[in-house]
């Protein structure tokens, strides 16, 4: 893609003039836009900083070279902003959504989420996507005039990627599209698929770096094998980290270009001109029919060979037990919670405990577990 290919200020992009604003009225920002303000508040939030010590695939203490939720979120934001520019979308809004998409993730990645959901099954369940929204709307504690970050409607809408009907009804305007069957902005649709591109490719990179998967295994995955062959054709004899990095870089670029091309085609075919057209149409941000099966093959490979690798499963089993033990201990005796969560637990004990556990980093959750269960840990 050349810079000259980019569409500038497309008519279907979100603009500040079309924004539905914030729950709590504020004076306009000076020297930056409303969506820039959203992005800045997200970056300065406590939940964003904690992502540095939350698992992507590997538990944080297992190595300094592996991705965390923080590095993943930054990579998603970079990819989202680049594609948004090519499509003429609102880059600041797209970046804000991308940076916030994992704020509600538990420690220990999906294993932690699954464990906390199981604990919360009789109390409304737990889903990290809803928790991200809860974090920016309620849990962040920084501003005198309101709880949360008071983000714009469009950023909050983009954070909420999926939602059950009961939750949508409870959420009011922000959940209305899940009841009406309408779509979010293209910026929100884009952040969702940029997340997928980022974690698929970077899990390949981390999996190879860890030694849990091999180049020989990946040769059986067509999308990886074809890009590897192209790298070897261009740089005969290249090996090691450079071979892997160039191959993964090629896959990311190819997926992004495919996404741009197919999305442009979808927009044209649907006759989309305005943001209202975007909301009334079917999903417009998408891969081509050629790329979709290749993406599925890559995801199946990662599931079978990395996420279900016995060493990863050992870690996820420990993670589930840690989360389950913590939840059970706090439910049995809320006095074990820090004072601010004891106060919240008087209203909704289970949800207050879920908020506390979801906000933990990997290492803090392990430390809390030792404090509560390890012999000799009195403090």
pLDDT per position as a tens digit, 347-369: 999 999 999 999 999 999 999 99
What is the b/e burial string over 174-204, where b = at least 16 CB atoms within 10 angstroms of the residue's CB? bbebbeeeebbbbbbbbbbbbbebbbbbbbb
pLDDT confidence of residue 67: 80
In this structure, what token pair is assigned to residue 208? Answer: 């190879």
pLDDT confidence of residue 379: 55
pLDDT confidence of residue 292: 97
In this structure, what token pair is assigned to residue 155? Answer: 């950023």
Q: Around 7, how many Cα atoms within 13 Å sit in the side-chain half-sphere?
A: 16
pLDDT confidence of residue 31: 95
- Chain segment 224-258, per-residue pLDDT in tens: 999 999 999 999 999 999 999 999 999 999 999 99
pLDDT confidence of residue 304: 96
Positions in the chain short of pLDDT 70: 1-8, 56-66, 376-379
pLDDT confidence of residue 64: 46
How long, in residues, is the chain? Answer: 379
pLDDT confidence of residue 375: 72
According to CATH, the topology of domain 31-313 is Hypothetical protein af1432 (1.10.3210)
HEC string for 341-369: HHHHHCCCHHHHHHHHHHCCCHHHHHHHH
Q: Where are the domains of the chain?
A: 31-313, 314-373
What's this model's pTM, rounded to 2 decimal places?
0.93
CA distance 270 to 185: 15
């Amino acid at each position: 893609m050349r810079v000259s290919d980019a569409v500038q200020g497309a008519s279907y992009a979100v603009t500040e003039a079309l924004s539905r604003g914030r729950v709590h009225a504020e004076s306009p920002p000076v020297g930056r836009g409303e969506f820039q303000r959203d992005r800045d508040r997200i970056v300065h939030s406590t939940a964003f900083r904690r992502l540095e010590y939350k698992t992507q695939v590997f538990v944080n203490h297992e190595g300094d070279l592996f991705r965390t939720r923080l590095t993943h979120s930054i990579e998603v934001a970079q990819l989202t902003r680049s594609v948004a520019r090519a499509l003429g979308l609102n880059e600041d809004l797209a970046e804000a959504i991308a940076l916030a998409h994992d704020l509600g993730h538990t420690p220990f990645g999906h294993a932690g989420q699954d464990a906390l959901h199981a604990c919360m099954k009789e109390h409304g369940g737990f889903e990290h996507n809803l928790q991200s929204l809860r974090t920016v709307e309620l849990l962040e504690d920084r501003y005198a005039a309101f709880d949360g970050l008071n983000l714009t409607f469009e950023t909050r809408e983009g954070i909420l990627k999926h939602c059950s009907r009961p939750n949508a009804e409870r959420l009011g305007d922000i959940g209305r599209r899940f009841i009406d069957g309408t779509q979010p902005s293209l910026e929100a649709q884009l952040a969702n698929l940029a997340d997928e591109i980022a974690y698929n490719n970077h899990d390949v990179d981390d999996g190879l770096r860890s030694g849990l998967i091999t180049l020989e295994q990946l040769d059986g995955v067509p999308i990886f094998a074809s890009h590897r062959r192209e790298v070897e054709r261009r740089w005969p004899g290249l090996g090691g980290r450079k071979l892997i990095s160039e191959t993964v870089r090629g896959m990311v670029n190819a997926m992004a270009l495919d996404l741009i091309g197919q999305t442009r085609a979808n927009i044209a075919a649907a006759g989309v001109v305005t943001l209202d057209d975007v909301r009334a149409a079917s999903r417009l941000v998408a891969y081509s029919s050629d790329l979709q099966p290749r993406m599925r093959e890559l995801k199946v490979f990662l599931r079978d060979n990395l996420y279900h690798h016995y060493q990863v499963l050992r870690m996820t089993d420990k993670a589930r037990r840690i989360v389950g033990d913590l939840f059970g201990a706090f439910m049995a005796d809320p006095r074990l919670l820090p004072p601010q969560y004891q106060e919240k637990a008087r209203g909704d004990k289970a949800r207050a405990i879920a908020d506390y556990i979801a906000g933990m980093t990997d290492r803090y959750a392990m430390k809390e577990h030792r404090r509560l269960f390890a012999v000799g840990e009195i403090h």
